[in-house]
Structure formats: structure tokens, C-alpha cells
Amino acid sequence: MTMQQDQTHRTSELSGRLAGRVALVTGGSSGIGRACAERYAEEGAHVVLADRDEARGTEAAAALRARTNVRVLFVPVDVADESSVEAMVATAWQEFGTIDTVLAAAGVASATYVSGAPSDQSVDPASRQLINLPVADWQRVLDVNLTGVMLTDRAVARRMVAAGRPGTIVNIASSAARIALPGAADYSVSKAGVVMLTQVLAAELLPYNIRVNAIGPGFIETPMTQSMRDDPEGRARMLSMTPMGRLGTPREMANAALYLACDESSYTTGHTLYPNGGMFTG
Ligand SMILES: NC(=O)c1ccc[n+]([C@@H]2O[C@H](COP(=O)([O-])OP(=O)(O)OC[C@H]3O[C@@H](n4cnc5c(N)ncnc54)[C@H](O)[C@@H]3O)[C@@H](O)[C@H]2O)c1
């Protein structure tokens, strides 16, 4: 059976808000990206799961394959590298014949952050203040969190436009786009950039029936917040900023992303939805 036949065959069996569509998820091996990949697959989407971490990505793809009847492909990528992103999208398009929706979740908390690795306790918090931050660290965070999202969105949008296909794009920003977090200038600025990137792209892609939206999570239970959650002071700080008095789950982020990816949000583009436990109520 060819790939095309296989997809058609399975598509006819699928149901859900994304039935038979093809979703590309970067940062899909962990945390929010992984939860989105799972949620999309539950709603009938075939998934291209892309990540820099090949071991976890391969494992996540196998786990997803085992519990759904959609096609799941893992593709290694460094989203900060243009040729790597182009190769990821070319592979996805070649294997599935299209990409209908993108979820750009790959991101880092800082230049030294490695997802899943214990945080480096020797880092002096003062070194993260902007007046002390090495330009190389600032640049690395912007390269992954902002340029990486732009490269991903652009590579897919170019193909959607050339093929005359509609689509949806969901970028993962952060509530930090709107809150000045001391010691996280690189991160906050990169995420504010993602919010504006989302608006500009939405305007540019409107004529092509491609909607572009973002979500700006609050503090979510993923490896990115692990060190803060392990530290009583860090946990208290996160909770004090969150009126609901609890952290969010990756699944709650995936539900928000699903809404923006599927037809239920058909009148929404250029918008950032902030699932953050009420952070912006005050
Ligand atoms: N956890 C939170 O509280 C929170 C809040 C707001 C926004 N976010 C954002 O959500 C997104 C997902 O983060 P998470 O919390 O799930 O953390 P995570 O560390 O669990 O997941 C991030 C994933 O991105 C991948 N990645 C990192 N750099 C990459 C690169 N250059 N190329 C390809 N893949 C790369 C990692 O391997 C990892 O799988 C990030 O953009 C993050 O900034 C997280």
C-alpha cells in the first residue's frame, strides 16, 4: 500500500475536529508541544512531530502511534537553523502531501536551558539581568524562540500559498510577552515578538485563507518550570502571579491550541489567547 493510499484509507476512518488533516508540531517531544500533538491526534489529525531531541521525539512519536490510529512521523529539527527547518517541512510535505496546521512550540527558557536536564544551580541570578547578559545568550534565545517560529511559519505558509491550500498556524508565545519579568528580558522580548509576528503574518496571509493565531500560556507544569516548581520560593512566586492559585496543565494549553487550529475558530486570526489562570484580570 502506498503512503497516499494508506492516508486515504485511514482518513476515511477518522473523526474529530481535525479529521484527516496533517499537523506539524515543533517542540513536539515534550511539554506543551507534546500535549498538542496528542490532542490533535485524538481529534483525527496525522502528526509530524518535530524536535531537536531525537531520543525523546522518537519515543513520543512511538507512544502516540501506539494509542491512536493516525499516522505519526518524527522529524529531527533545529528550528533556529533555516536549512533544518526547510528540510523538516520538505520531508513532512513529501510524506503527507500537505500540511494543514502548524503548532510552533519549540522554545527555550534561556540560552543555557536544556529541556529535561536538571537546571544549573550555579548560575548567578544577577548574570541574567540585562546589564550583565552576554549578547550571545540574548541572541540564542531570540534565534530559537522568535526566528525559529518565523522560519517554521514561513516555510509552511510558502507551501500552502503555492499549493492554494487553506490552513491554520498556532504559535506558542507566553504571558511573559505582556509581563516584564526581571532576569528574563531575552525570553520576554522573544515572546512579545511572537505576538507581533502572529499579527503581521495573519494580515499578510489573510488573502490566502491561512489563519495565524498564538497562545500565551501562564505557568505550566512542564520541564520548563521544573526548577521553579522544585524551589518553594519559585513555586510561591508563580502562584502569587496566578489568581486561580494553581499552575496550568499542558492539556489545558492543547485545548486552547486545538480551538485555534480547527474550524471552530474560523472568524479568528491575528489573535493571542492567554490561558494563564487569570493573570491579566487585575
Ligand atoms: N511551561 C511554561 O510555563 C510555558 C509558559 C509560557 C510559554 N511556554 C512556551 O511553550 C513552549 C513549549 O515549552 P514547554 O514548557 O513545553 O517546555 P519543554 O522544555 O518541555 O519543551 C520545549 C521543547 O522544545 C524543544 N526545542 C528547544 N529548542 C529547540 C530547537 N532549537 N529546535 C527544535 N526543538 C527545540 C525541546 O527539545 C523541547 O522538546 C515554549 O515555546 C515555551 O517558551 C511555556
| Element housing 171 (H / E) | strand 167-172
109 CA closest ligand 1 atom index? 43
CA distance 24 to 34: 11
Q: Which residues contact 197 (CB under 8 A, 6 or more apart)?
A: 146, 149, 150, 153, 171
Residue 161 neighbours by CB distance under 10 Å: 16
Which residues, 6+ apart, have CB-to-CB distance to 13 below 8 Å?
69
Q: Which residues pair with 50 in a beta bridge?
A: 26, 75
Closest residue (by CA) to atom 7 of ligand 1?
174
Query: Amino acid letter at 43?
Result: E
Chain segment 136-161, per-residue pLDDT in tens = 999 999 999 999 999 999 999 999 99
The pLDDT assigned to 133 comes to: 96
The residues pairing with 101 across neighbouring beta strands, listed in sequence order, are: 23, 168
Active site residue 208: no
- pLDDT for res 1: 37
Place of cell 511573559: 176
- 172 in contact with ligand 1, CB cutoff 6 A: yes
Is residue 53 within 6 Å of ligand 1 at its C-beta? Answer: yes
pLDDT for residue 215: 98
Residue pair 240/179 in contact (Cβ under 8 Å)? The answer is no
Does 220 sit in the ligand 1 pocket, CB within 6 Å? yes
- State if residue 29 touches ligand 1 by the CB under 6 angstroms criterion: yes
Edge-to-edge strand ranges of the sheet holding 46-51:
72-76, 46-51, 22-26, 101-104, 167-172, 210-215, 272-273
Which pLDDT does position 122 carry in this prediction?
Answer: 79
Question: How many Cβ atoms are within 10 Å of 173's Cβ, its own excluded?
Answer: 29
Q: What number of residues does the chain have?
A: 282
**Domain covering 14-113+138-221+250-273, topology:** Rossmann fold (3.40.50)
Ranges of the chain whose pLDDT falls below 50? 1-11
- From 115, 150, 181, the mutation candidate for ligand 1 (largest count of ligand atoms within 8 A of CB) is 115
Question: Residue 32 CA: which ligand 1 atom is closest?
Answer: 16
Residue with cell 496533517: 22
> 120: CA distance to ligand 1 center in Å?
17
User: Whole-model pTM?
Assistant: 0.95
Note the pLDDT tens digit of each residue in 57-86. 999 999 999 999 999 999 999 999 999 999
